[in-house]
Amino acid sequence: MNLTTLVLMIGAVAALLTILMVFIFKKHNNILISYLQNFCGALFIFSGWVKAVDPLGTAYKLQDYFKEFESTFQETWISFISPMFPFFAEYNVAISVFVIVFEIVLGIMLLIGAKPKFTAWSFFGLVAFFTLLTGFTFLTGYVQEGGNFFKFSTWGAYDANNMKVKDCGCFGDFIKLEPKVSFFKDVFLLFPAVIFLWFRPKMHQIFTKKLRNIIVGISTVGILLYCLSNYVWDIPHMDFRPFSKGKDVAAARMAEEEAQGSVEIVAWKLKNRADGKVVELPSAVYYKEMMTNYNKKDWEVIEQVKTEPSIKPTKISEFEVTDLLSNDLTYTFLESEEPLILLVSYKLKADVKQITESYVDSLYTKDTLNTLDNGELMIVNQLDTIINKERKINKYQWDAGFGEKATKISAFASSFKAKNIPVYYVVGGASPDQIKQYQKDFKLDGIEMCMADDILLKTLVRSNPGIMLWDKGKMVDKWHINKVDASDILTKYFSK
């Protein structure tokens, strides 16, 4: 589904609701205002719901925004607000849930006409906030590498690659919108937002005031619980991400790679080293004149203009796993001929302290030459001195809650090792030493410890730790740490 289809569907729903309002409830004051209420209300409910399915996805997106704001404001005269954003980033999940619940409840309030003054101002404020957010993100496309957003004199030609946040997250993973599209969507919504402020008395209200308040109260509690159920107690009940249950990851990766391989370079963007002039040349012209009119001494290539691949790449194309020695294990999962369990932790939660450790070191001297049976000479080392030395090592104090989950994971993995079922544990954002210490502390012996990008692991499963079952390159199933039961999995998938 694309944005145009979605808007048409929302528009049709709003039209139906308006007809009901006019001919059934007979509560309208102005048909246009009622239609705008129903349209904006239905849009907010839908856009909020696809985010409520996966609150962590919105939280991760907010984290990207906060990181970008921190670095941007650090170099301005209002740099004093920059430290706010790391603080916000620490509470990104709570902020995500609040915004999602508020958005859906506000949509419901628009539909039923609850608290018109509060609703009108809240809708205007939220749309204005979204417009500033998406507008800032879109306009960073004009900011050159190394530049700052507020140094307008350094802006150049628009380039989507300059944007640090590529997707606004307005509709979660259900529909991916470019910030430019999302920005214009929010600008469009400012018009009904202003209309609601000016014509608030014309907004319709259905049901009694008491019933409207009850609907808003129950909706708030229900949506909050729904959000929590999709990450605190279980993984999202609907998965719009690339690694959804039943996804043939191996086949999808191959298709994406083939599509990427068929991409052609149709033009070249060049920049003059002397005056900074940028030109775009068709490939035929560039190849013909690259040694004469556009040589490397005077011109540099800044971009290759390529055709769009028939299949857009997703995180599946970025699926890479290595062992602790950086040996590639990706195809262990993509080409597995037997089912295997994949445990995932995008982050090992621990406080790190550096301590001094004493150890004994032995010094040897080369003593004599011995003749081996085959006639070769061997140098014999003789112990000379034993000395005490000190070294700095990292000591990891595991987070209590995370430690409990790790203990549960250890017991879970033991059930599968006992059945000779391969178990792998992929960790993100940690050094090999930290992973080895984690493995030792929680008795994860016999499990192949691996490493991968933490963002990739967040995409795989919304649980830390999380559990997945792979078979022949397919994502068969996955579970939240609080919902997993080894015996159930063994009975369902390994009892044959």
Does position 470 have pLDDT exceeding 90, yes or no?
Answer: yes
Separation in Å, CA 219 to CA 46, 159, 209: 14, 42, 15
Q: Tell me, yes or no, whether 235 lies in a domain.
A: no
Same domain, 336 and 282: no
Question: Is there a single domain that holds both residue 277 and residue 362?
Answer: no
pLDDT of residue 368: 61
Rounded CA separation 156/365 (Å): 67
Rounded Cα distance between 487 and 104, Å, is 39
Are 279 and 374 found together in one domain? Answer: no
pTM (predicted TM-score): 0.84
Q: What is the average pLDDT value for the chain, to the nearest integer?
A: 87
pLDDT band at 4; cut points 50, 70, 90: confident
Given this model, what pLDDT does residue 384 score? 67
Co-location of 217 and 78 in the same domain: yes
Q: Mean pLDDT over residues 20-44, rounded?
A: 89
Q: What is the pLDDT of residues 149-158, one digit of tens each?
A: 887 777 877 7
Residue 251 lies in a domain: no
Per-residue pLDDT tens over the stretch 157-201: 777 777 777 777 778 788 888 888 888 999 999 999 999 999 999
State whether 58 and 7 are in the same domain: yes
Sheet with 340-345, edge to edge strand ranges:
322-323, 448-451, 423-427, 340-345, 466-471, 474-480
Confidence at residue 377, expressed as pLDDT on a 0 to 100 scale = 63
Please indicate, yes or no, whether residues 377 and 453 belong to a single structural domain of this protein. no
Q: How confident is the model at residue 489 (pLDDT cuts 50, 70, 90)?
A: very high
Q: Are 280 and 426 contained in the same domain?
A: no
339 and 360 fall within a common domain: no
Q: Per the domain annotation, does 33 fall within a domain? A: yes
Length of the chain: 496
- CATH code (residue 421): 3.40.30.10
Domains held by the chain: number: 4
Same domain, 153 and 281: no
Look at residue 352 in the predicted model and tell me its pLDDT: 79
Q: Among 53-57, 91-95, 223-227, 276-280, whose mean pLDDT is lowest?
A: 276-280
Confidence of residue 45 (pLDDT cuts 50, 70, 90): very high
Claim to verify: residue 65 and residue 81 sit in the same structural domain: yes
Task: Using pLDDT thresholds of 50, 70 and 90, give the confidence band for residue 91.
Answer: very high
Q: Has residue 200 been placed in a domain? A: yes
Q: Identify residue 408 by its one-letter amino acid code.
A: K
pLDDT of amino acid 231: 92
Q: Which of 89-103, 351-365, 379-393, 437-451 has the highest mean pLDDT?
A: 89-103
pLDDT tens digits, 314-371: 899 999 999 999 999 998 889 888 899 999 999 998 887 777 666 666 666 766 656 5
Q: Do both 130 and 187 map to the same domain?
A: yes
Cβ atoms 75, 38 nearer than 8 A: no
Please give the residue range of the domain that contains residue 362: 356-392
pLDDT of residue 116: 94
Q: What is the pLDDT of residue 92?
A: 92
